Structure 1
């Protein structure tokens, strides 16, 4: 399959029809799969109402079909034909965080979505991305778009069009290149079909921010143990580089762990902040920001993880963070990438 690539300015006016985005929208209307930028990561979009179109997402990613997909819309007004009801809590969350990196799980309206989108659940996750290219594309397509991250299943999510191209060239119809994404981690997913609402995946909106808006929420304690996952990222290993990754509990012991592995004849890569990198000697050092600017760490996390696949590192050690605010999402992704492997 030929993969077309459209380059657009990330600052486009979401209400203007640009030729490149219009062509990509026509691909989506014909049932093709197209990758596009959002403020979180690049998404792999297809018509959420079409079984054939959504099947193309799973085939391109190599993703298990029992994992539900998030649906992307371009306006709150679209929800009336997509969900069974909109509660006061859901309205508060939309007013506070849409457009933005928050996915809300609603009770679905029957007969609208492909069963492949909802994994036969009675609910559906929906968000309105805060990215003019994404909003423009969804509007022109005229359809809600199912859009998981645009990567091979299990690999780090893409934050640039080049990441998408590396994984999916020849597997998708096109890639809309809108530059590097902003948040760098997927959206927070909150289930509003239960009381109190429950965060199923930490992401770009923190638990603390949500609780300031609607009061007490629960955090799902079993993100990886669900037999029937209600949200993407709950069941399968994600975000992993080719080389095995380990999380280092105490950054002051990082050099000690590097030395142990080097003594075993291994080439060691490290994913660390600037502060930690100052005193380290390793074979490959990737800096993902500052411990004092965790938004920067989040934005550069996946790119840093992916970069080790261009090296001959035998093992990767990653710095860790207290799981509060955006760091809760950072740690969620690191734990999945490392498969819960820790070093003290």
Structure 2
């Protein structure tokens, strides 16, 4: 059931549901999340069951502000504090050492926990109401509100299409960022990028005053984190990344017989088939991120078998979009 997330009564209803152990979908600036009380292992188990997600694949816990971090994290390095000051509320998740007694199920059994303070006003209002609920909900575990491995939702309608009317969905309008948060591991003494997003490496490094490492640079196994599996964000149709020349060659080879194909590209391409669906990819990385998942869902709704996407530019601001498309193509 979709309810108006701008209504105080709806926020109160959703907070009561979460405090009572139920699932609630809510908007963030990145994508819609499927929320449960992070402090209740039973409630969190409902997320894994609803999504078909492995229980050892950790969830991100959403908090109202940085004051809630010590409830979940046993240590917050200085560079992590700088990142919170610079980007919270916003599309940044920090992986921190977890208090052993907190959010075991949400952490996938790991000794670390992913924390984020979302910037969306509906999400913030919900988190504040949860903290004031009886019993209080200190944090809301909230992976993307879709079936595991599939395209993330950026509207309330996307969520309803995935889970039906039984799920309470707070409608906060279309998500303005459109792809999931940047994830930085803060458990190994230096900042390590686990998942790119719309925040660039340069922005993160400037804020924390340290070079952002990659997982490959450091010894030891990185903490598991949301959205880092090789195959993820995949529509029903098969995704293939190609440069503009390869796209045009493929269309020329198929000629007028091309069917069941959708194309998302910046380049102007020619086709002799009236059956090829086309959407132009924006030249701007932020706008592409904003619409990417909605476009993939739109193509799926049209029943195409193949989605051909022009490979995004190899530039820092496109890293998050490239990551999502590479994982979608791996599916």
Q: Same fold (TM over 0.5)?
A: yes
1:175 positional shift = 0.3
> Alignment partner of 2:241: what SS?
strand
| 1:176 match | 170
Say whether residues 1:103 and 2:93 are aligned partners: yes
Identify if the C-alpha distance between structure 1 residues 198 and 261 changes in structure 2 by more than 3 Å, giving closer, same or farther.
Answer: farther
Residue-by-residue CA offset, 1:86-112 (whole Å, 9 max, x unaligned)? 221111000110000000011111202
C-alpha change, 1:141 and 1:272, in structure 2 (3 Å) is: same
1:209 and 1:227, CA in 2 relative to 1: closer, same or farther beyond 3 A? Answer: closer
* Aligned counterpart, 2:41: 51
Partner of 1:334: 325
Shift of 1:267: 2.6
Q: Return 5+ residue gaps in structure 1 as ranges.
A: 13-17
Asked if the contact 2:112–2:223 (Cα under 8 Å) also holds between the matched residues in 1, the reply is no
Q: How does 1:194-213 map to 2 (within 5 A)?
A: 194-213=188-207
How big is the shift at 1:280?
A: 5.3
| Whole-Å separation in 2 of the counterparts to 1:186 and 1:159 | 10
Tell me the residue number matched to 1:151.
146
1:40/1:204 contact within 8 Å kept: no
**Conservation of the 8 A alpha-carbon contact between 2:97 and 2:112:** yes
Query: 2:280 & 2:154 partners in 1: Cα distance?
Result: 13
- Stretches of structure 2 lacking an aligned partner (at least 5 in a row): 132-136
For 1:301, which of 269, 277, 292 is the aligned residue? 292
Give the match for residue 88 of structure 1.
78
Matched, 1:25 2:19: no
Please give the alpha-carbon distance, in whole angstroms, between the structure 2 residues aligned to 1:93 and 1:134. 20
Cα distance change on mapping 1:304 and 1:159 into 2, 3 Å = same
Give the Cα–Cα distance (whole angstroms) in 2 for the partners of residues 278 and 316 of structure 1: 15
Q: SS of the counterpart of 1:116?
A: coil
Correspondence for 1:324: 315
Cα contact 1:262–1:268 (8 A) shared by 2: no
- For 2:168 and 2:230, locate their aligned partners in 1 and report how far apart those are by CA, in whole Å: 26
Is this contact kept in 2: 1:270–1:317, CA < 8 A?
A: yes
User: 2:277: which partner in 1?
Assistant: 285
Matched, 1:190 2:184: yes
Deviation at 1:229, TM superposition (A): 5.3
Alignment of 1:68-83 (within 5 A): 68-83=58-73
Deviation at 1:235, TM superposition (A): 2.6
**Cα distance, 1:278 vs. partner?**
5.8
* Structure 1 residues 69-89: Cα deviation after superposition (integer angstroms, max 9, x where no partner): 000000111112221022211
Count of equivalent residues: 321
SS of 2:84's equivalent? helix
User: Could you tell me how far 1:321 is from its partner in structure 2?
Assistant: 1.5
Contact between 1:6 and 1:21, CA under 8 Å: does it hold in 2?
Answer: no
Distance 1:156 1:330, change over 3 A: same
**Range with greater deviation from structure 2 (181-190 or 75-84):** 75-84
CA distance in 1 between counterparts of 2:189 and 2:73 reads 18
TM-score by length of structure 1 reads 0.87
SS in 1 for 2:106: helix
Whether the 8 Å contact between 1:277 and 1:287 is mirrored in structure 2 is: no
Give 1:60 shift.
1.0
CA RMSD of aligned residues (A): 2.2
